[in-house]
Amino acid sequence: MANDEHESLTEEAARVIREEHERMKLLLKSVQETRDLESLLPKLVELRTLLAEHFEHEEAPDGLASAMEEPRFAPQAAQLFDEHQLFLEMLDDLMVQARSCLDARLRVLRGVTELARQLHEHEGKENALMLDLADTDLGGRG
């Protein structure tokens, strides 16, 4: 694959990349199975960190970047490296969306709490009015 003029994929780099693929696969499965945004967001952050490090390893001279030196592999490697950036951007977007949803959830929950407080206060005022009316009606008739 490679000649002596450039570095080629080393056994160590290939081992690291394979191990990262396994870690990524497990983490991605966990991300896919998570339905609670509060639990999902830290997993997305972890996945993004892992992918950024992993892509650096793949794009290193002793990693898959060595394919750039081979004319028949260079276009495929370039496309894969372009996709790396897209994946990171997708994750960044998902994390922003998740944070936004969590913020919206907190606003809704605070709104529900405020609604309950105001309704409780309102009902107290109505009850006080009913007691005053009852006292007035009973007192006025008696």
Position 1 confidence tier, pLDDT thresholds 50, 70, 90: very low
Identify whether 1 is part of a domain.
no
- Per-residue pLDDT at 136: 85
Query: Each residue of 50-71: pLDDT tens digit?
Result: 999 999 999 999 999 999 999 9
Identify whether 78 is part of a domain.
yes
Identify whether 6 is part of a domain.
no
For residue 112, what is the domain's CATH number?
1.20.120
Query: Each residue of 80-118: pLDDT tens digit?
Result: 999 999 999 999 999 999 999 999 999 999 999 999 999
Residue-range definition of the domain harbouring residue 105: 11-141
pTM given for the model: 0.76
Position 139 confidence tier, pLDDT thresholds 50, 70, 90: low
Number of compact structural domains in the chain: 1
**DSSP helix/strand/coil, 54:** helix
Identify whether 74 is part of a domain.
yes
